[in-house]
Amino acid sequence: MAHYYLDSSAVVKCYVYEAGSQWIRQLTSSLSAIFYSSDLTIAEVAAALAVLGRTGRINPPQQREAVAEFYKHTTTRYVHLSATREIVRYAANLTQRYPLKGYDAVHLATALSLARDMRANGLSLTLVTGDDQMIRAAQAENLPAANPFDYTHLDEPETTL
């Protein structure tokens, strides 16, 4: 079974069309994978969907549907992990080594902590994010990472000859 940690930028792609959405949707529809994220993702994704609604990128019915589906998935699709004081301190230390924003550092600290625990049980974890800084920091910490933007070719409609 595959294990993935999705940051908020990856999760949003499940609910609105963005570059890399098709790959994320295929990935998260897998029944042979477990998807983890931080509790912070709940607020971050809800906020991102609200911004998309306020700016007209999605219409009000789309926003309501996306938020409702996401909220449902917070209990059925994703395993949410707490942003404990230990994780926040770990994140603060990561910001001293890598050019990370605060919440990005919390996501990375959560993923790194989970990956460490999983390795002890012979399992591996892959971080999924569209943030290049997080990917570089994850790789520097020996955490495999995948970027949905590397799969934008899947977003393009198929053409026939």
pLDDT value for 125 = 98
Identify the CA nearest to 9 among candidates 48, 57, 38, 40: 48
pLDDT value for 103 = 96
pLDDT value for 31 = 87
pLDDT value for 160 = 44
Domain ranges for the chain: 2-40+79-155
pLDDT value for 157 = 63
CATH 3.30.300.30, domain 2-40+79-155, yes or no:
no
Contact 116, 3 (CB under 8 A): no
Contact 128, 145 (CB under 8 A): yes
- What is the crossing angle of helices 132-140 and 102-119, to 10°? 40
User: How do the pLDDT tens digits run along the chain, 161 residues long?
Assistant: 999 999 999 999 999 999 999 999 999 998 899 999 999 999 999 999 999 999 999 999 999 999 999 999 999 999 999 999 999 999 999 999 999 999 999 999 999 999 999 999 999 999 999 999 999 999 999 999 999 999 999 987 644 44
Identify the CA nearest to 87 among candidates 113, 115, 126: 113
* Range list of H helices, 29-149: 40-54, 60-76, 85-97, 102-119, 132-140
pLDDT value for 58 = 95
